[in-house]
Amino acid sequence: MELTGLMSGELAELREAVKARLSWDSTVSDEELMKLIESELFKRERTRRMTAAERRSSVNRLFHSFRGLDALQPLLEDPEVTEIMINGHDEIFIERRGRLEAVNLGFESPERLEDLIQNIVGRVNRIVNESSPIVDARLPDGSRIHIVLPPVALKGATVTIRRFPEKPLGMEDLVELGALTGEAAHFLRELVIAKYNLFISGGTGSGKTTFLNALSQWIPAGERIITIEDAAELQLRSIPNLVSLETRNANSEGKGQIGIRDLIRASLRMRPNRIIVGEVRGAEALDMLQAMNTGHEGRPSCIKGTKKITYIQPQWMPERRRSSHP
């Protein structure tokens, strides 16, 4: 497979040459690294016959392999790309403007892709290996990443990256786009302010997280909010008193795991006005219902499922602002 004008073997050889020179000084600036890559590139006779565009693409690719996410960096810099799907080191698909398409990008080897995966999960204190081959993590820009390694993934390491817009859609945007009516938005606003317990359910990519972010704009600024997620992806920018909690996988010895259930129990002792659970997919549903029965209210919860419905849990006594019922 040809990558940015270079064959995969040539790209790996150039990377090793640059890495050898970097070992003398690990504090080089981005500009110095770029010049170092260019000097190594022009030492090769074949690269002298490359077009200017191919040389520029090769330099950028090598630079991103040191200071970015390698082949994925151009895709992450494209604001129109909302999903990146890696089915193997040389097979990448993206979702752009709602349509799936293959891209002429790839990694020079399965080992290079797995090196990048370990770098990503290491930044957020996660572990993924053959004994624990599935993990959820996040990128520095907030994108959610899901990884499945062999032997579970038969074609090689499989990576799915869900990107989120820099500016989340508000309820006004959803009304303008026709996702719901103005009357429905007004009704939901009243429910949020009155601290009703809300459940949001829907299929993959149906907009549950987007909708939950939009609902949060109506939470009063004087309240203390606790969010609980597998991998942090909620963007609640209008809440000053916000505590974000994230689950933790077990370590290499199988110890230290902290799940959604543990975080729900811990959050009840943190003086919350509201608890927002990003995903409810298992036994933690019982803990959440028990929390509601103890008088904790105002829980918007994103429930992953296949039925594209929204279930709103009303209070038993409409004239009261509190409810002791789930």
User: Residues 283, 193: contact at Cβ < 8 Å?
Assistant: no
pLDDT (0 to 100) of residue 46: 66
Top CATH class, 171-313 = alpha beta
Q: Where are the domains of the chain?
A: 1-67, 68-163, 171-313
Distance of alpha carbon 7 from alpha carbon 61, whole angstroms: 12
Amino acid at 49: R
Cα-Cα-Cα-Cα dihedral sign, residues 26, 30, 35, 40? positive
Closest to 35 in 3D by CA, of 53, 62, 2: 62
Q: Alpha carbon 280 to chain centroid distance?
A: 17
Q: What is the pLDDT of residue 47?
A: 66
Q: Quick check: pTM over 0.75?
A: no
- What does the alpha-carbon distance between residue 172 and residue 180 come to, in Å, rounded to a whole number? 10
What digits encode the pLDDT tens for the residues 236-288?
888 899 999 998 877 777 778 898 889 988 988 898 888 888 887 777 778 77
Cα dihedral 29, 31, 32, 37 sign: positive
Chain center to CA of 23: 32
Place of tokens 């040191």: 66
Burial class (CB in 10 A: 0-12, 13-18, 19+), 59: buried
Amino acid at 109: S
Is the separation of the CB atoms in 311 and 209 below 8 Å?
Answer: no
Burial of 224 (0-12, 13-18, 19+ CB in 10 A): middle
- Structure confidence at residue 40 (pLDDT): 77
137 in Cβ contact with 120 (< 8 Å): yes
The list of the chain residues with pLDDT below 50 reads: 1-2, 302-326
What pLDDT, on a 0 to 100 scale, did the predictor assign at position 2?
46
Is the bond leading into 151 cis (omega within 30 degrees of zero)? yes
| pLDDT score at 316 | 35
3-class DSSP state for residue 55? helix
Question: What sign does the CA torsion over 102, 84, 53, 67 have?
Answer: negative
DSSP class of 203: -
Q: Of 2.130.10.10, 3.40.50.720, 3.40.50.620, 3.30.450.370, which CATH number belongs to 68-163?
A: 3.30.450.370
85 DSSP β-pair partners: 93, 160
- Would 68-163 and 171-313 be classified into the same CATH topology? no
Tokens of 126: 């996660």
H-helix segments, the chain? 8-22, 30-41, 45-48, 52-67, 73-76, 110-123, 171-176, 182-193, 208-215, 260-267, 284-293
